[in-house]
Amino acid sequence: MQDYLYSWLNIHKAKPARIEFPKTVEELQSLLRSLKQQQQPYNFIGSSHSYNAIQLVDGNVAIVFDGSGLKNIEYDYITHEVSVEAGVTIEELKFFLRPLGRQLLTSGNFMKQRVIGGVITGTHGYDHESAIMADSITAAKLLTEDGELIEITEKEDEETLKYLRVSFGYLGVLVSATLKTKPNEQFRVKQQIFPLSQLQEKIDQAAQQPHALTMFPYSDREDPYVGFISLEKLKRYHPPKQVNLATPLISNISWAIIKLFWKIDARVPQIRPFVQQLIGRLAVNRETEIIITSPDDLDYLYDYHPMLESERNPSLARRFLSSNFTAYNVAVFVPKAQLVPLLTFIYKLGQEFRHQTPPKFFKNSLGVRYVGQSKKCAMAGNYLLESYAVELFFATQDLEFAEKVQNRIAEHFPIRPHWGKTILKSYALKHIDPKVIQTFKQKRQEYVGSGLLKPNLGELESELC
């Protein structure tokens, strides 16, 4: 039997009282009734993508949706909505929708993530509407601690659904969700690279057009470079660029080089500024690049081709600068007006920490996505506030450094939490409307009155009980 559960990248672990793998709703209902009778604390795990261990709690009974059960997917041809049970991953759902010519309104780019785990922790893409995955939920089925199955719909109880959509496993066990879909879309993607001092101008030009950016904090000592991506929806089909399938020999050699570089990077982090300074030198002559996306792309608009990234030969340049699979990720939401000041502040922090003894470095680039504002997810970081999600990466051994950087940011900026990634400190609730928090607490009392459902909320638990 498995003794421990681990978060993504094995950053956090927990030793539960025991692990349960329910395969049906009926089995789960029986389990919840038994746990209440025994007064045994529990939590449910809808995804391995839990950076801050919200879903990992010592001593709890861990209810794990491991993918071998609760896998039903149903599509409604009239409403074009899709209903998924708790074991379904984002990748599985995308493959299901593909032959129907449909896609999710938005999604994260971690394809193995359970859809349920993604929505409850505020996973997002980037857009001016429905940037948060949970924005697209029109109905959900929830199990109370008595095992009662409740269906909450947008038409009948939008107020409750507003709090359930992003609830980080605190209001009951979410066993299925119904999401809106849209027809496959095609975009013209403009990619630019320029100094941070020009960013505000580019943001103003993009307005509410979907966009994202990457800042390389060590690329220049005075004015670091930013890679900027903006998307324009096409009204007519344009043939996308063709890409060949992966060649085993080339892929294996490329991955060997990439992994060797990652090992060197982990042991000698001082090379990170040098690598990013190369970007600065190359950026001077870099022209704007235009790419046409494939309408049935299954990735995340980072990749502009019909295949999954894993089906193509890996890009050495991209992987050398990639942090997603090699680093701890901390993310916060910040109001639109505060983005450029925040990035400038982070740049200066990076310079400060690299000259400490011993020096500390961000893992690689900083990721930023425009997420607009949500009107449907009361506990989302962009609720009723036009926002950006800012993501910082740290080496896995630098968790204390990551916490220190987040604390410094919180001292100067009105950040809100990304529930799947923010280090959950007491200030994470500071800029959320107290009325929203109060209503959330009332909903918890209504559905989990005993308090036995206990995800790991750290310092926030007492404030949300």
Closest to 179 in 3D by CA, of 130, 222, 243, 127: 130
Give the pLDDT band of residue 51 (cuts 50, 70, 90).
low
Handedness of CA 161, 58, 108, 74 (dihedral sign): negative
Q: Can you read off the two tokens belonging to residue 218?
A: 């060590």
**What pLDDT is attached to residue 233?**
87
User: 236 CB contacts (<8 Å, ≥6 apart)?
Assistant: none
What residues contact 170, with CB distance under 8 A and at least 6 apart? 440, 444, 448, 453, 455, 457, 464
Which segment of 12-16, 193-197, 222-226 scores lowest on mean pLDDT?
12-16
- Asked if the model's pLDDT at residue 44 lies above 60, the reply is yes
Domains of the chain: 187-427 (3.30.70.2520)
pTM, two decimals, is 0.92
Q: Which tops the pLDDT comparison, 299 or 107?
A: 107
Per-residue pLDDT tens digits for 55-65: 888 999 999 88
Sign of CA pseudo-dihedral 349, 354, 356, 357: positive
180 phi and psi angles, rounded to 5 deg: -70, 150
> What pLDDT sits at residue 307?
67
From 359, 343, 402, 396, select the one nearest 219 (Cα to Cα).
343
pLDDT tens-digit map of 257-280? 988 988 888 889 999 998 888 888
Per DSSP, the three-state class of 145 is coil
pLDDT, position 38: 95
Place of tokens 């949970």: 134
Whether the predicted pLDDT of 164 surpasses 60: yes
Instruction: Give the type of residue at 456.
Output: N
Averaged pLDDT, 351-361? 92
Spell out the SS3 assignment of 222-262: CCCEEEEEEEEECCCCCCCCCCCCCCHHHHHHHHHHHHHHH
Give the span between the Cα atoms of 418 and 311, in whole angstroms.
Answer: 30
Residue 81 binned pLDDT confidence (cut-offs 50, 70, 90): very high
Which pLDDT belongs to residue 25? 93
- Angle (nearest 5°) at CA 263 between 257 and 264: 90
How many Cβ atoms sit within 10 Å of the Cβ of residue 139? 18
Note whether 79 and 146 are within 8 A (CB): no
Listed range (117-121, 250-254, 295-299) with the worst mean pLDDT: 295-299
Which range is least confidently modeled, 83-87, 228-232, 343-347, 382-386?
228-232
Q: Is residue 303 pLDDT above 60, yes or no?
A: no
Query: What are the DSSP E strand ranges found in 287-365?
Result: 289-292, 328-335
Nearest to 255 by CA among 328, 329, 327, 312: 312
β strands within 171-210, DSSP E: 173-183, 187-195
pLDDT tens figures, 24-38: 999 999 999 999 999
How far, in Å, CA of 269 to CA of 398, rounded?
11
* pLDDT for residue 146 is more than 80: yes
Torsion angles phi and psi, residue 119, rounded to 5? -70, -40
Question: Is-contact 439 162, C-beta < 8 A?
Answer: no
Q: How far is CA 457 from CA 80, 322, 465, in A?
A: 36, 29, 10
Chain-centroid distance of CA 264 in Å reads 27
Kindly report the average pLDDT of the chain as a whole number.
Answer: 88
Q: Is 400 exposed, middle or buried (0-12, 13-18, 19+ CB in 10 A)?
A: exposed
Give the Cα separation of 325 and 131 in Å (integer): 23
- Tokens in use for 339? 């983005």
Q: Mean pLDDT over residues 320-333, rounded?
A: 77
Is the predicted pLDDT of residue 241 greater than 90, yes or no?
Answer: no
First to last CA, the chain: 33
Smallest CA-to-CA distance from 350 within 415, 388, 318, 398 is with 398
Question: CA 6 from chain center: how many Å?
Answer: 18
